[in-house]
Amino acid sequence: MYEVTLKILGKEYKAEANDIVQAFSGLKVGKVAGRVLLTVSKDGVEKSRILNAIVTDRALNGHGLTQEVAQKQIASMFQGL
């Protein structure tokens, strides 16, 4: 089970799922502004990455292929967990 934590401008959003992409898409975030700290943990192992607003906005609020590509880019950052 993956646990995803997203921190944007002092606000924290959390979601859990069996897949990183499902957990990330389970986050309910409105407009994304500024840099984002994304932390993914599984079985006590934690990995963090800083994302820019464009990639995060595309992954959370994009449509179709744009959203799918952005989510796969983010998931590839956390391979090995």
pTM of the model: 0.86
- Quickly state the pLDDT bin for 1 (edges 50, 70, 90): very high
Range of the domain at 35: 2-77
Q: What SS3 state is found at 52?
A: coil
Residue 21 dihedral angles phi and psi, to the nearest 5°: -65, -40
Q: What is the mean pLDDT of the chain?
A: 91
Mean pLDDT value across residues 11-21: 92
Yes or no: say if 66 and 60 are a contact pair by the CB < 8 Å rule: no
Mean pLDDT value across residues 45-70: 92
Q: Tell me what pLDDT residue 74 has.
A: 92
pLDDT tens figures, 31-57: 888 899 999 999 999 999 999 989 999
- Quickly state the pLDDT bin for 80 (edges 50, 70, 90): confident
How many structural domains is the chain composed of?
Answer: 1
